[in-house]
Amino acid sequence: MKKLLLITLLGTIALQANIKVMSNTNSITSVTQKELSDLYLGKKKTINGIKVTPIDNKENFKEFYQKVLKKNSKQLRAYWMREMYKGDRLPPKKMTTAQIKKVMKGKDKVIVYSISKLSGKVILTLK
């Protein structure tokens, strides 16, 4: 019983954590939740006219999609199955925090999210 209570409590704390959205380009100073939603659903490829590649964080994937897209894993999987079937879009790559840190140091313009600040410039904090 104590384990169940502890797991529930930890899950609640994790969902209440702020998610930071970061980019490795200084050209992007802010982003709206709508822009993020469109970017992570593959509906747009730019923010403020700058082409960026969205990257999913394996550790914070569920929390991000629930807060930003208001979709659970099942809904998201169904969405991407339809999009891939039509041949229109592919989902963002999922990476670990270590992989994201390496990509953020590279030359490609990317946008990522995490509960902890990784590197780059924080452009939005989701509460």
Write out pLDDT tens, residues 31-82.
999 999 999 999 999 998 999 999 999 999 999 999 988 999 999 999 999 9
Phi and psi at residue 58, to the nearest 5°:
-55, -35
Q: Name the token pair of 22.
A: 């970061």
Angle, CA 94 vertex, CA 57 and CA 90 arms, to 5°: 130
The pLDDT value given to residue 16: 56
The pLDDT value given to residue 127: 59
How many angstroms separate the CA atoms of 94 and 71, rounded? 17
Q: pLDDT per residue over 86-120, tens digit each?
A: 987 899 999 999 999 999 999 899 999 998 877 77
- Reported pTM: 0.81
The pLDDT value given to residue 124: 74
The pLDDT value given to residue 4: 41
DSSP secondary structure string, 14-33?
HHHSPEEEEES-TT-----H
How many angstroms separate the CA atoms of 61 and 45, rounded? 20
With beta carbons less than 8 A apart as the criterion, state whether 75 and 68 touch: no
Q: How confident is the model at residue 123 (pLDDT cuts 50, 70, 90)?
A: confident
Q: Where are the domains of the chain?
A: 18-126
- Right CATH for 18-126 from 3.40.190, 3.40.720, 2.30.42, 2.60.40: 3.40.190
31 alpha carbon, distance to own chain's centre: 13
